[in-house]
Structure 1
Amino acid sequence: MSSSFFGDLRVVLRGPRFRRLFGTRLVSQFSDGIYQAGLAGFVFFNPEQHTSAAAVAAAFAVLLLPFSAVAPFAGVLIDRWPRRQVLLLSSLAKAVLAVITAVLVARGAGPAFFVAALLVLSVNRFFLSGLSAGLPYVVRRDKLMMANAVTPTCGTAASSAGTGVGLAIGMIGGEEALGTGIVLFAAALGFAVSGAVSLTLGRRELGPNLEEEPEDVRAAVRGVVRGMLSGLRHIGERVPARDGLATMGVHRVLFGVSTLLTLLLYNNTFTGGGVAGLAGFSVSAALLATGFLVGAVATPWATARTGASTWIASLLATAAIVLLVFGLPFSPVLFPVAGFVLGFVSQAVKVTVDTLVQRHVDNAFRGRVFSVYDVLFNATFVLGAALAAVFVPPSGVSAAVVAAMVLVYAALAAAWARRARRSTETGAAAPV
């Protein structure tokens, strides 16, 4: 399967336009990883205190939920503005905001730090939505599955590498605020480089081509709210995309629960917090990222042989079994295995859903649809963290919560298995 992944990567890299977009993604997501390492160390692994479930959930809400209220407007603008310009301006804005964040941390951060960090993450959603909406312009339609498998996966690998570099910079700089400030400033330099790489693309190379669209679409983009509503209606009319997004939303709730559990376990139970907690969590995060990579490598091969519905059903069933076996013991040795499998499931489901969305929505609506996707991605994650905060103790040990996750994964798997059987009985095309 690894040979298939690298073979797919070689195929899509033959296109010079794809290579430019791909390079922009890699540099930006590497810098994202550095920035996230700085945030994690400062927000979640403060050596002066043990983090409670409510505090972790509140931090996620502060950093993600406000964007979820603004993000619907991003898709309409992405469908109206040259997407290359969206990538360029987003990168430069992130660079400036990362410098501001670094200065605030070095001086002793307060509420302004969270505002600046929120703005960086918000602008990043413009950037990622622009990448997704622009991808069909640089690869052929029959290569979209390949591109969806290799580009986010390589981006995740770049982000993980950036996180490692950020942690190394932080350890050199020390636990003091100045060390975190240096990490964030390094991220700012990377964001600036990403903007420079995006200039290798033409201004109109990633669309949108509004002059080619019907009048009702041009009218829709004149009103942000009307445009967003039309995007929601468009999703509702495309059953494969709708069902895929709904499943992704439920999975993200569960992923939010598991993330909060993992943070609490490494901060308050497996270690004493501080650098030890961050180091332990980093090992688990590295296995999670490895799962992302393996999941994306396996997905094109698997969907070509089993079909999208069967593949998603098997993934969700696997998540249920592994959480039951490796999650419930709450062992520092076994728990990272569950993290690896959840990473595998998460990325494999996402690659399949991304392709369903891109293939079943019209080009003129892609920006709005992917902004809906982004809101769903963030809001459901925070919802999962908030639900866990109600039931999870500071230790992070809660057998009831893990058991509930197992039941939800099993129910989702059963629903997709029924869908796969119906597709087989009606003779519908199974592969994505």
Structure 2
Amino acid sequence: MTTSADVSDPHHIRIGPRRLLAIGEFRRLLFSRFSSQWGDGLFQTGLAGAVVFNPERAVSPSEIAVGFVVLLLPYSVIGPFAGALLDRWDRRRVLVVANLLRGVLILFSAVCVATGVAGFPILLLALIVIGISRFVGAGLSASLPHVVPVPNLVEANALSVTLGAVVSVIGGGCAVGLRAVFGEDNAGSGLTAAVAVVGSGLAALLASRFARGALGPDRVVEPATAVAAVANGLFDGARVALRTPTVAAGFCALLAHRASFGISLLMTVILMRYSFESWGPVEAGLPGLGVVLGAGGIGIFVAGLTTARLVTSLGRKRTVFIALGVAALSQFGLGLPMLLPTTLAAAFVIAYTGQVVKLCVDAAVQRDIGDETRGRVFALYDMLFNITQALAVAIAATVIPANGESVTLIVVATVVYLAGITGFELVSRRGQRVA
């Protein structure tokens, strides 16, 4: 299946955001991503407010960690199998059905929160909602090469993923504002979560406007039955990723980032809940966490504006190497004081560098992996990083103090980045020797 955007001319030059946005199919896919991720940010932040920052109850580090693990780990196990479906089913139909199903489950979750249901039922519902969101995200990424010229994938991916992440942060900010309007009790939290259904509904509507087959896959190289296709998803994605040095090296870099980020995330939530004091106009608690997310969102946005230029000037390998080094320095230098203002600065820098790495790895997958297996590799990608982050959170929860202040964990998070630099360099050299 080809579209008007399918251009494979190797001499094609950067066309810039304005020209990209002039491509109708790219614009439609982009707005579908925006709608989906706005709803995700609103739903997840609203749920965090109801569970973690509920003034009616205290939560321990282990309870917070269990929440992260329950939300991240189970979908990670089935992610590669979902990838096989993305390479077998019409992705346009997948995006429509998945968004509608997510909307229904968001409403059901909101009712449960409003009526005071707590504990495992809420976590299970959240797991399913966020799992579907991950599936949608993998489908959007796998569809991108069908709506933009191939030589412009780096800038198109930077624009869509970066702005999508910023929109997700905006959704989180909307949740903070809605809780202030609706109230911080169960009813208010339920109403806040329910608003997220708007994002899912609009995302489904936008996806439905694509023609059948417009988003791929172009051809299906699968066993005759869906069961066999699903069973092969994990192995196919892993095999293709390992055989592609640019992708395997990128995975090393992102695994390190997600592990370190998981440690930082747990510390930040607990510090914001129990240790930080208000700093100027920035309040501690959920509003402060919203500001931290905003600082991260700005970092992500700046990464979207600068990554393509960095790659053009430095090359993809050097860009990833430098980004990981800066992340390690900021993790140690800005994280170690464990104060609200330095945490805000660290949130910006780590989000910026992490997004630079992610955009480089996304581009490697989209450019160096064939369309017949790209969905499985993206789903494997999602699985590995969710598992890594969940494990990092779980392990950190066993040693972190109740108030979140731990010099040891800051040092460990820094060392993880250094290990990522080493792994990225070694795998990249292997690829150069093979070439």
TM (normalized to structure 1)?
Answer: 0.91
- For the structure 1 residues 376 and 220, does the alpha-carbon distance in structure 2 shift closer, same or farther, using more than 3 Å as the test? farther
Assess if the C-alpha contact under 8 Å between 2:153 and 2:363 holds in 1. Answer: yes
CA offsets per residue over residues 200-227 of structure 1, 9 Å max, x none? 111211011226x5xxx55696432123
* RMSD of aligned residue pairs (Cα, Å): 2.2
Please tell me whether residue 148 in structure 1 is matched to residue 157 in structure 2. yes
Number of equivalences: 416
Please tell me whether residue 127 in structure 1 is matched to residue 136 in structure 2. yes
Q: Which residue of 1 aligns with 2:213?
A: 204
Assess if the C-alpha contact under 8 Å between 2:256 and 2:419 holds in 1. Answer: no
Q: Greater shift after overlay, 305-314 or 401-410?
A: 401-410
Assess if the C-alpha contact under 8 Å between 1:76 and 1:224 holds in 2. Answer: yes
Kindly provide the amino acid, as one letter, of the partner of residue 185 in structure 2.
E
Offset of 1:414 from its aligned partner? 4.7
Q: Greater shift after overlay, 92-101 or 28-37?
A: 28-37
Q: How does 1:16-55 map to 2 (within 5 A)?
A: 16-55=24-63
CA offsets per residue over residues 138-187 of structure 1, 9 Å max, x none? 01110100111000111112111111112111110111111111111111
Offset of 1:295 from its aligned partner? 1.6
Please tell me whether residue 9 in structure 1 is matched to residue 5 in structure 2. no
Assess if the C-alpha contact under 8 Å between 1:313 and 1:414 holds in 2. Answer: no
Kindly provide the amino acid, as one letter, of the partner of residue 296 in structure 2.
L
Q: How does 1:39-78 map to 2 (within 5 A)?
A: 39-78=47-86
Offset of 1:418 from its aligned partner? 6.8
Q: Which residue of 2 aligns with 1:180?
A: 189
- Please, which of 349, 354, 361 is the counterpart of residue 346 of structure 1? 354
Please tell me whether residue 118 in structure 1 is matched to residue 124 in structure 2. no
Q: How does 1:28-427 map to 2 (within 5 A)?
A: 28-110=36-118, 111-210=120-219, 217=222, 222-271=228-277, 276-414=284-422, 416=424
Q: Which residue of 1 aligns with 2:10?
A: none
Assess if the C-alpha contact under 8 Å between 1:50 and 1:267 holds in 2. Answer: no
Where in structure 1 are there 5+ consecutive unaligned residues? Answer: 1-5
Assess if the C-alpha contact under 8 Å between 1:72 and 1:372 holds in 2. Answer: yes
Within 1, Cα distance between the matches of 2:58 and 2:345?
A: 25
Assess if the C-alpha contact under 8 Å between 2:299 and 2:351 holds in 1. Answer: yes
Kindly provide the amino acid, as one letter, of the partner of residue 236 in structure 2.
S
Percent identity among equivalent residues?
Answer: 35
Where 1:334 maps in the other structure, the secondary structure is helix
Assess if the C-alpha contact under 8 Å between 1:323 and 1:338 holds in 2. Answer: yes
TM (normalized to structure 2)?
Answer: 0.90
Within 1, Cα distance between the matches of 2:411 and 2:111?
A: 44
Within 1, Cα distance between the matches of 2:317 and 2:63?
A: 38
Q: Greater shift after overlay, 110-119 or 256-265?
A: 110-119
Q: Greater shift after overlay, 344-353 or 61-70?
A: 61-70
Where 1:327 maps in the other structure, the secondary structure is coil
Kindly provide the amino acid, as one letter, of the partner of residue 274 in structure 2.
N
- For the structure 1 residues 82 and 419, does the alpha-carbon distance in structure 2 shift closer, same or farther, using more than 3 Å as the test? closer
Offset of 1:419 from its aligned partner? 7.1
Where 2:285 maps in the other structure, the secondary structure is helix
- Structure number with the higher helix fraction is 1
Kindly provide the amino acid, as one letter, of the partner of residue 165 in structure 2.
T
Where in structure 2 are there 5+ consecutive unaligned residues? Answer: 1-13
Offset of 1:296 from its aligned partner? 2.2
